[in-house]
Amino acid sequence: MARYLENNTPMRLLDVREPIEYHTYNIGGLNIPLSLLRNTLPIADWDKQDELIVICKVGLRSKTAQSILHENGYTNVRNLTGGLMALQKLK
């Protein structure tokens, strides 16, 4: 993930934290809280085969979101292991 950010590589990010968390600190992407994810599918104009990186604070909510997305036909979903906390430690 750090490599993507450093190289400004375009990517589809889904941040599943609550809005207050997202607005406090984020690395971009679409913010759909985990509690609303099932009711928000399908996601905008995203193709179900596109690479999608799901993020949260420590990687637990994003892991759950990854499962929900897989169940709904999204085939290329990655979880940011360790979440934003791990990413911040790399900086």
CATH code where residue 10 lies: 3.40.250.10
Two structure tokens written together for 39 = 């009711």
What pLDDT tens digit does each residue of the chain (91 aa) get? 445 545 555 689 999 999 999 999 999 999 999 999 999 998 878 899 999 999 999 999 999 999 999 999 999 999 999 999 998 888 6
What amino acid occupies position 43?
I
Q: How many domains does the chain have?
A: 1
CB contact set of 7 (below 8 Å; sequence gap of 6+): none
What is the extent of the structural domain holding 39? 2-90
Q: Is 47 helix (H, G, I), strand (E, B) or coil?
A: coil
